[in-house]
Structure 1
């Protein structure tokens, strides 16, 4: 179901696999997909821990001038701006402020979804007068007596795919072609309703007393190499004064998450002090970058975000900088690709991105069969953010030992690795809800 998110929609390999892989064979096709594309690039991924070369991580608590950071004030005033600037320059690009003229329009509302359990709203968020919009789908517990905390995240195929209900409008935006779901000419259809419902577990979230807000990432920028031409990196240029190449698609998607937060702050049914940003895969990368730039997100959840997300970049395991920047060059700024052959020259690593979340609760999740995303590297990234959390008097993972499958570890920084493949499963949501209960209830 998610092969279309691994390859550019225009690639021949993408087309072959999407036309020939049945849903039952998709996990096999995924492995084949990665192997074939890697082979086509002359790239052989390392999946042997004993073959990971030695590496040195930058210390998040040492400034570029070599000064130790020993206080929260020094961290906030000196090191945070420094680290954020490094990620902007070398990895993701700029993260512009929101437009002054953002406005919101409730397009529709219903209390009939999920047998009356959900109060649902479709809200259009306009980015100024001529810069476009995104459609936010918000589900709230219908019987809530007070404002509720909300999980917020972007989806891959349109709002109508997160729940099978005809009330939710189909997206009219560009989507990846997909023969399994009869998507052609980059336009969706009725047969795609609810096809990613298992990734969102809306009813489970509502039953736990939380809301969930989502939007289609293609509302912000279509996910292909030419997507910037019609996405917000172009349409927002009069407001941001940034050239499209000064920020990547991950930044554009992350920026959209902040605009969703703008709306949630205005909704009287939402506890805006307890909004939790969550993202899977490339949208996990976007969620992390959004949270690094927007402290309004009170909790941060990375699900299988891998290279350029939670996984350590300096580790030679699974996907690499060279592979990701050649396959998805539009996600990052061009400078990131220059480190493909010399990772030691990269002045940041992803544990520093994790550290920018402190002191907010942070959850990092991996999957056993998702070695491409380097689960151990994701764990180590979360672990090495621990000293910054300690600066705030918060306990991180509390161990440097990779936990057993489905045995979560950690306090303010928490981690699990579950059975199965690259996906979001009910087990993951059960852990995220439990984490939210611990910190917000």
Structure 2
């Protein structure tokens, strides 16, 4: 296939967070100023932002947005109004794409009701056009071949133009990442910063976090799937005094179920936080684990419009419009899970969840939230991202099915109304053609019939970046058959495959697909793009399974349980609270008894925690107080580590604290 004609890219040494072998990722948009919210603003053709100075352009941007939308959100407020206000902040105007029916880029052989703007191709795949960039949903590798360079083994992407690969093991200055320290201290922070700024939003400064008061509901007992359990609600009551006018008070809420035997013995067990209820108890309970059904909508609803200035986002933002870099719902849900782990980890009343052994699971949009949670909080040991699709554990540059430009439910995509609230407003910047073509403002077709390059070329992170941020913890990715093509099973496989080099660097296997595995394809897939159906590839710490079923998560659960055993039962493994540094593991909390008054406490080759933070300095402890210990040496190489704790005249030795032996010392 002939390569399309492309403009010569700018060259420079500042490659952005994406690396890319010296190819500049400086924006090709016409950046003309800085918004009142601190963001570079790209002028749309004919925009009043063509003022003569940055200060003047900023004033024009502020004036335009305030005149059109008001300085403060007022009710009623639709999702489209809220979205368009964000576009105004960014200086982005919707292009005039013309009629859907007459669009020359419309894929052939579509069927459906034009009035509904929901059409289907010959294989029943949903097809529609994105409002911001004119991109039609595609299920044809020959058309959407922007992912060249991201193929693997004997299954490369088809010929055609390709995006500049985002090299995970190349720093933004072009230098290679050679050691684990390079990853932890240099490259990972670059990627994490870009992920927040370019896609999901930045978690607010800790100083802005509201106080959370935790309440445990009454315990109820029962039996399900042959396992006796103890169950109660957990409620994080969020203080609204920062902004009492918030329309809807957020809370962190869910149901925790653990084995009755653990409750009676007051022991802590691994817990999987599930977006939804406790239906998967049938798989987790027999393992001796717990489940927490997370009611995420009570923290931040899964909808935009007026809700974006209410609940937790509105509370912290004091009811104002979101700024382009502010967090969206996915990051807000992640924050809620992190605060829940804080609660599990805090001394006090028995809860039963081991904060050092926490997993998270979600399906579809909650699969996206799952991979975001794992990327944002290194305490999460295992993540099951089921059919997460675009903006989840999937290569967005594939332009297959669900796309960043027409993301979300195909009847109400992110570009038009519904799902923009998942993300930071900045993600709108990556929609549309890389180079504007006045004669064809939409997606455009190059001379060889493939899509023209998109602004995604300028984005410095992709789905493999999200998986890599979770290394060396468990990430399990699943997709389905033709009825799940919207989520792009091949693109999800590629995200795991290309993150594997990071897992290998930090000391564990990533996605392991045995040599000689015969790849398969579903209806309408012109290349064999994934490992075979109904076979779980879970030998490493990145797992993949494609079920011969549709957009569901149940077939993948048994293999996820097996993967969790790697981190819930197997040793050695870094403590969840310190995976980012890859250096520390901690003991279980235990109570000091038998003291008369206070005693001196000290530690060698480690740190201890009582009521406050971690410390290596001598201190004091009282009878009945809880304490725990952690090593301060590398655990990734499996070498034994010894930490010595002294309380009064008694000495306690902790050797290679693991998930199974977390140090119980005598009292």
TM > 0.5 fold call = yes
* Residues 205 and 222 (structure 1), Cα distance of their counterparts in 2 relative to 1, 3 Å cut: same
Residue 122 of structure 1 corresponds to which residue in structure 2? 233
Give SS of 1:124's match.
strand
TM-score normalised according to structure 1 size: 0.77
Question: What's 1:111 paired with?
Answer: 221
1:38 to 128, 133, 138: 128
User: What do residues 215-257 of structure 1 show as CA deviations (whole Å, max 9, x unaligned)?
Assistant: 2121121222222122211112369998586111111111111
CA contact (8 A) 1:52 1:315 kept: yes
Of the three residues 377, 385, 393, the one matched with 2:491 is 377
Q: Which residue in the other structure is 2:464 paired with?
A: 351
Residue pair 1:233, 1:243 contacting (<8 A) in 2 also? no
TM-score by length of 2: 0.52
Q: Which has the larger radius of gyration?
A: 2
Q: CA deviation at 1:268?
A: 4.5
Rounded Cα–Cα distance in structure 2 between residues aligned with 1:242 and 1:74: 34
The verdict on how the C-alpha distance between 1:64 and 1:241 changes in structure 2, with shifts beyond 3 A counting, is farther
User: Is 1:148 paired with 2:259?
Assistant: no
Deviates more, 1:82-91 or 1:103-112: 103-112
Aligned match of 2:169 in 61, 64, 84?
61
Distance in 2 separating the partners of 1:336 and 1:311: 16
Shift of the alpha carbon at 1:58? 0.5
Whether 2:163 is the aligned partner of 1:74: answer no
Question: Once the two structures are superposed, what CA deviation does each residue of 1:72-112 show, in whole Å capped at 9, x if it has no partner?
Answer: 11111111111111111110111236637322101222113
> How many Å separate the matches in 2 of 1:303 and 1:40?
24
The DSSP-based 3-state class of the residue aligned with 1:370 is helix
Please name the residue that 1:261 is paired with: 341
Residue 407 (1) aligns with residue 407 (2): no
Please state whether the residue corresponding to 1:111 is helix, strand or coil.
Answer: strand
1:251 equivalent among 321, 331, 334: 331
Q: In terms of mean alpha carbon deviation, does 296-305 or 96-105 score higher?
A: 96-105
Per-residue CA shift, 1:310-338, capped at 9, x if unaligned? Answer: 11011111111111231411111222122
Q: 1:236 aligns with which of 286, 306, 316?
A: 316
Number of the residue aligned with 2:547: 418
Mapped partners of 2:126, 2:508: distance in 1: 44
CA contact (8 A) 2:227 2:286 kept: no
- Unaligned 5+ segments in structure 2 are 1-77, 81-117, 149-161, 242-248, 408-413, 433-454, 520-529, 570-667
User: Could you tell me how far apart the structure 1 residues matched to 2:143 and 2:178 are?
Assistant: 35
Cα-to-partner distance string for 1:151-184 (whole Å, 9 max, x where unaligned): 01322xxxxxx36xxxxxxxxxxxxxxxxxxxxx
Q: What secondary structure sits across from 2:467 in the alignment?
A: helix
Distance 1:318 1:104, change over 3 A: same
- Larger helix proportion of the pair: 1
Within the candidate set 211, 218, 232, 2:290 is matched to 211
CA distance in 1 between partners of 2:191 and 2:311 (Å):
27
The residue aligned with 2:353 is 270
- 1:325-344 → structure 2 map (5 Å cutoff): 325-327=414-416, 328-341=419-432, 342-344=455-457
Q: State the match for 2:252 in structure 1.
A: 134
Task: Quickly say closer, same or farther: Cα 1:386–1:40, change in 2 above 3 A.
Answer: closer
Instruction: After superposition, give the CA deviation of every residue in 1:124-165 in whole Å (9 maximum; x if it has no partner).
Output: 11233546322121111112353211101322xxxxxx36xx
Find the aligned partners of 1:380 and 1:404 in 2 and give their Cα distance.
Answer: 14
Q: How many pairs are equivalent?
A: 372
Partner SS for 2:304: coil
Displacement over 4 Å in runs of 4+: 30-37, 39-43, 238-245
Q: Which has the higher contact order (CA 8 A, sep 6+)?
A: 1
Distance in 2 between residues matched to 1:46 and 1:322, nearest whole Å? 12
| Separation (CA, whole Å) in 2 of partners of 1:137 and 1:303 | 21
Quick one: distance in 2 between partners of 1:248 and 1:10? 14
Give the match for residue 395 of structure 1: 509
CA RMSD of aligned residues (A): 2.9
Q: Distance in 2 between matches of 1:255 and 1:332?
A: 14
Alignment partner of 1:323 out of 392, 406, 413: 406
| 3-state SS of 2:532 partner | coil
